[in-house]
Amino acid sequence: MLFGTIKGMLSVQNVDKSFGGIRAVAGCSLKVDDGAIIGLIGPNGAGKTTLFKIISGFEKPDNGAIRFEGENVAATSSFELAKRGLIRTFQLSKALTKLTVEENMMLAPQFQHGERIWNIWLRAKEVKRQEEENRAKAISLLELFDLLPLKDEYAGALSGGQKKLLEMARAIMADPKMLLLDEPFSGVNPTLAKKLLGHIQDLRENKGMSFLIIEHDMPMIMQLCDYIYVLSKGKVIASGAPDEVRADERVLDAYLGGV
């Protein structure tokens, strides 16, 4: 038995999802171990983003089970999953354009005292202290993502690549146990992308964070991931260590429009 024996961070079991006549995800299974960095690749329309939405509770699967830390979460609402440490980013980046870059970051931390109305009056000191802490953290993350000089700009003023970066920084700011990144490096310059690869590995090493990453840049995904799943037409057509996947004929076929 492939699943259920190893207690992983995330496991997806036989998940189906159709939109009208289109079977976007067709009996998909994968798993992510604690502290693993897993890649999810496949041609456009393969169902990668849909699978992310299902995992993060933004879409309900027609069939199948999603286990997060061993618990079936197929019916859990998306914000509760995020609260439990499963954070996703969006393929079409969703920087909040009418908030500043810093405000975007400050939104992310969980359990902020100041998010409860009464605390704003009754625990004003703690709220302020927490804001200061979070601000310091935001600033160091923004620095890492080359966004610090823009911290007081409205996020609407950022370029496409910068919005992607902001979204990834914001997701990390939420201190997730597991991060789902949907094409995080599209539009990001290669030097910075390389630096961020290092940071992802850091987060795994120092915080035990797990990652599931959709990315089209093959060399980058090969370098970063422990294990890769290849999705085509809603099905996992191959999986394995980067070298195995690279050598797999089926993968090439899928990308060239075969299968």
Partner 1 sequence: MGHLIKIYLYNTMIDYIITVLLIAAIYAIFALGLNLEWGFTGLINFGHVAFLAIGAYTTVLLNLSGVPIPLSVIASMCLAGLCGGLLGIPTLKLRADYLAIVTIGFAEIIRFALLNEGWLTRGAMGLYGYSRPCEELIEYLHLDYNTFFFLVVLLILVLCYLILEKLIKSPWGRVLKSIREDEEVPTSLGKNVFRYKIQVLVLGSMIAGLAGSLLAFYLQYINPWNFVPLVTFYAWIAVVLGGSGNNKGTVLGAFILWTFFSVTRFAQGYAPLSPTQMGALRIMIIGLLLIILMMFKPEGLLGKKEELTLES
Ligand X SMILES: Nc1ncnc2c1ncn2[C@@H]1O[C@H](COP(=O)(O)OP(=O)(O)O)[C@@H](O)[C@H]1O
Contacts to ligand X by CB under 6 A = 19, 22, 24, 42, 44-50
Candidates 29, 76, 112, 186; binder of partner 1 (CB under 8 A) is 112
Q: Please identify the residue of the shown chain whose CB is closest to the bound Mg ion.
A: 49
Of these partners, ligand X, Mg ion, partner 1, none, which one is at the site of residue 242 (CB under 5 to 8 Å by kind)? none
Name every residue whose Cβ is closer than 8 Å to that of residue 220 and which is 6 or more positions away in sequence.
185, 193, 197
Q: How many residues bind partner 1 (CB under 8 A)?
A: 36
Picking from 149, 61, 60, 42, the residue whose alpha carbon sits closest to that of residue 101 is 149
- Using CB under 8 A, which of the segments 67-75, 113-121, 208-216, 251-259 binds partner 1? 113-121
Q: Does 91 bind Mg ion (CB under 5 A)?
A: yes
Structure tokens that stand for 97 in this block: 């354009």
Pick between residue 24 and residue 147 the one whose CB is nearest to ligand X. Answer: 24
> Using the rule CB under 5 A, which residue among 13, 49, 56, 232 binds Mg ion?
49
Cβ-proximal residues to 15 (8 Å cutoff; 6+ apart), any chain: 25, 27, 28, 29, 51, 54, 61, 63, 64, 65, 66
Q: What DSSP designation does 227 have? A: E
Cα distances (Å, whole numbers) of residue 149 to 142, 156, 170:
9, 15, 16
Selected from 83, 123, 195, 250, the binder of partner 1 by CB under 8 A is 83
Question: How, if at all, do strands 22-32 and 235-240 pair?
Answer: unpaired
Helix (H, G, I), strand (E, B) or coil at 171: helix
| Residue 98: CB atoms within 10 Å | 9
- Binders of partner 1 in range 130-159 (CB under 8 A): 131, 154, 156-157
Collapsed DSSP state (helix, strand, coil) of residue 250 = helix
Question: What is d(CA 250, CA 39) in angstroms, rounded to the nearest whole number?
Answer: 17
Q: Which of 62, 80, 143, 205 binds partner 1 (CB under 8 A)?
A: 80
Least separation in angstroms between CB 16 and partner 1: 23
Residues interacting with partner 1, by CB under 8 A?
A: 56, 58, 78-80, 82-83, 87-90, 94, 96-99, 103, 106-108, 110, 112-117, 120, 127, 131, 154, 156-157, 170-171, 174
Residues interacting with Mg ion, by CB under 5 A?
A: 48-49, 91
